[in-house]
Every structure is written in structure tokens, then in C-alpha cells.
Amino acid sequence: MKKIFINGLFPREDQEGSKVAIFAMDEATAGKTTPLLKAEADERGCVKSEIDEKYVNKEIQVRIRLAGFKPFQINAVVKDFGFYYTARLDKDTVYSGEITKLDKYVNWNSDQHYTDALADLLDIIRKI
């Protein structure tokens, strides 16, 4: 199994955190709707999991969703050491649901959060 680490997500507190789904993008599985992984960000805005070694050097698609933020999606390749990524989430300024009342959402600064999360990720990668 290879490690997956994604940070920069909206953290789970009283409300739900960012939802992450990872799909295989090879010819055999492309177009199928069953994800390899479904997870929710923890209280630090991270997802830590594992993916089968058979996906090394294969393309995956990472989709990140949470009401109040613009949908985020990226295609990437799983490397020998796993998959490590920092997402940059931007507020959906049109959305007006419950999450917009949370202090953490009101004070969300996409640029600063991304910069801090990227620094955390670089520290983790240095230790691999």
C-alpha cells in the first residue's frame, strides 16, 4: 500500500469537512463512478489514507467538494512514494448556506491557508 496525504482542506469541526474522492483514470476504470477512496478532512484539514500499489505510475483523479467552496479537481500520477498534495480551496461567493455562518469560513483566506498547508506538506516530504 502507498500513502496518500492531502492537506489544505476545510477542516472538520462541528460541521463536516471537505469531502475527497479519488478515482482511477486508466482505460479499464475510466468513466466508472465508484471511487478508490472516499474520505473527509480531519480537524486539521487533512486526509491521510492508502492506495493499492497497483496504482503506482497510474493516473488518478482527485475531486474535492464542500458546500461554500468552488469544486476542485486534479488529475495526477501516483508515485513510488505515494501521493502527497496540497489543495487550494477558494470560497464560492455565491453560496449562502449554513457553512457561511462559521467563523472559520468567514475568516478563510485562501492564499494564506494554501501557503501554510504547503509549508506543512514540504516538512512531511522532507521526512520521507
> Which CATH number goes with the domain that contains 22?
2.60.40.10
Query: What's the rounded Cα separation, in Å, for the pair 78 and 116?
Result: 24
Q: Which domain holds residue 19?
A: 2-126
pLDDT of the residue at 101 = 82
Give the pLDDT confidence score for residue 31 in this predicted structure. Answer: 62
Query: Which residues of the chain are under the pLDDT cut of 70?
Result: 14, 27-32
Tens-place pLDDT, residues 98-109: 888 888 888 999
Per the CB < 8 A criterion, the answer to whether 69 and 92 are in contact is yes
Domain count along the chain: 1
